[in-house]
């Protein structure tokens, strides 16, 4: 009510939001004009799949470890427009960078137009060699699109150094931002090749650059203040320190589970892992273990049927917290008479 100008109020659907884009761009290593503020990685992935011009028979190459929010936009495009979605099978665990590059390289055909992959996969948490994969795509004239939902806040990120054409993310995960504060990155040279999915004023205005992708009408500005606060907090701690602790924590819990004869799905290559340790623990069914851990001990774990446990180790987790999980895991095996 203090404004003198009656038009001086936040028209939230059509603002550049530079007070939020500037610190985000600095944090992820790109320019403001290459960043659009969206709600999450799923939304950004849909913008990418919907916005790229492809013809029937054109191929999109991805892995078999994509999140539904990454894969399904391309499957929709395949059903609607006749493109082909091809998948490579990632081993569990991935051994090294060369193994991944060879799998992708061998699967590329003259019809491959897009390589889409998760920087950190949802299935095993492997950190794929994104820079090398984007370089492979660029060398063959193929667009690279990366689902980076887990990356900001888990590990250092520099999008220009990565060399990708497009990148999506959900900072509410490891950066601990507010829900509904995602982003879409589009390399400046590619922006004009990407069609808008949502159209309003400015959709056909090239000078807006990536801002045109965030013009969706009224939006949740308080969520963006939460995003900015989370960036400031991470910068205060320092991403070098955060990433180092993430790796140390995951290495510890992974090593302890292997001692308990769990089958490792986590890469033996330190460059391909960070804050997620994934193991397979037959004959323990994850659904039963997950329920037992939560109802009896208020320990929350995630996994996948039948036997996979995906253990996340955010920096605020204490060693005592991990040791408590390990103690209860041993207790569960004893209670169920499961031999190590």
pLDDT reported for residue 6: 66
Task: Give the integer Cα–Cα distance in Å for 198 and 217.
Answer: 9
pLDDT reported for residue 219: 80
Task: Transcribe 27-84 into DSSP letters.
Answer: HHTS-GGGEEEES-HHHHHHHHHHHB---TT-EEEEETT--HHHHHHHHHHHHHH--E
pLDDT reported for residue 66: 97
Q: Token pair of 230, please?
A: 């989370």
Domains delineated in the chain: 12-235 (3.40.640.10), 239-335 (3.90.1150.10)
**Is the CB of residue 95 less than 8 Å from the CB of residue 120?**
no
Name residues whose C-beta falls within 8 Å of residue 76's C-beta, 6 or more positions apart in sequence.
49
Burial of 51 (0-12, 13-18, 19+ CB in 10 A): middle
The C-alpha angle with vertex 148 and arms to 281 and 60, in degrees rounded to 5, equals 95
Radius of gyration of the chain (CA): 21
List, in sequence order, every residue forming a beta bridge with 63; answer none if it has no partner.
Answer: 88
pLDDT reported for residue 3: 64
Strand arrangement of the beta sheet that strand 302-304 belongs to: 263-264, 276-280, 308-312, 302-304
pLDDT reported for residue 11: 55
The C-alpha angle with vertex 225 and arms to 24 and 162, in degrees rounded to 5, equals 15
pLDDT reported for residue 4: 74
Q: What is the pTM of this model?
A: 0.94
pLDDT digit of tens for each residue in the chain (340 aa)? 566 776 665 555 678 999 999 999 999 999 999 999 999 999 999 999 999 999 999 999 999 999 999 999 999 999 999 999 999 999 999 999 999 999 999 999 999 999 999 999 999 999 999 999 999 999 999 999 999 999 999 999 999 999 999 999 999 999 999 999 999 999 999 999 999 999 999 999 999 999 999 998 888 888 999 999 999 999 999 999 999 999 999 999 999 999 999 999 999 999 999 999 999 999 999 999 999 999 999 999 999 999 999 999 999 999 999 999 999 999 999 999 887 6
pLDDT reported for residue 14: 77
pLDDT reported for residue 340: 64
At 186, is the secondary structure helix, strand, or coil? strand
Could you tell me which of 25, 117, 108 has the C-alpha nearest to residue 70?
117
């Amino acid at each position: 009510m203090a404004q003198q100008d009656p038009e001086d109020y936040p028209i939230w659907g059509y603002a550049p939001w530079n007070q939020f884009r500037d610190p985000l761009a600095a944090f992820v290593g790109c320019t403001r004009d290459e960043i659009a503020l969206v709600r999450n990685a799923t939304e950004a992935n849909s913008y990418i799949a919907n916005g790229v011009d492809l013809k029937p028979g054109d191929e999109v190459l991805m892995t078999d470890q994509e999140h539904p929010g990454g894969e399904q936009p391309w499957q929709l495009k395949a059903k609607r427009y006749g493109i082909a979605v091809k998948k490579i099978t990632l081993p569990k665990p991935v051994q090294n960078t060369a193994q991944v590059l060879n799998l992708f390289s061998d699967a590329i055909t003259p019809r491959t137009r897009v390589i889409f992959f998760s920087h950190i996969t949802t299935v095993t948490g492997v950190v794929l060699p994104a820079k090398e994969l984007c370089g492979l795509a660029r060398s063959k004239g193929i667009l690279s699109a990366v689902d980076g939902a887990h990356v900001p806040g888990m590990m250092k990120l520099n999008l220009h150094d990565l060399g990708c054409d497009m990148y999506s993310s959900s900072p509410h995960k490891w950066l601990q931002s507010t829900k509904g504060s995602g982003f879409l990155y589009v390399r400046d040279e590619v922006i004009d090749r990407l069609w808008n999915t949502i159209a309003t004023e400015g959709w056909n205005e090239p000078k807006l650059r990536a801002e045109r992708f965030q013009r969706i009408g009224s939006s949740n500005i308080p969520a963006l203040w939460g995003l900015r606060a989370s960036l400031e907090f991470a910068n205060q701690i320092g991403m070098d320190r955060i990433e180092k602790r993430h790796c140390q924590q995951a290495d510890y819990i992974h090593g302890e589970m292997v001692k308990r004869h769990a089958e490792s799905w986590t890469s033996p290559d330190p460059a391909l892992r960070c804050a997620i340790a994934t193991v397979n623990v037959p004959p323990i069914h994850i659904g039963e273990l997950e329920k037992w851990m939560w109802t009896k001990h208020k320990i929350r774990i995630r996994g996948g049927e039948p036997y996979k446990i995906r253990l996340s180790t955010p920096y605020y987790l204490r060693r005592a917290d991990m040791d408590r999980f390990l103690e209860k895991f041993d207790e569960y095996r004893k209670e169920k008479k499961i031999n190590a």
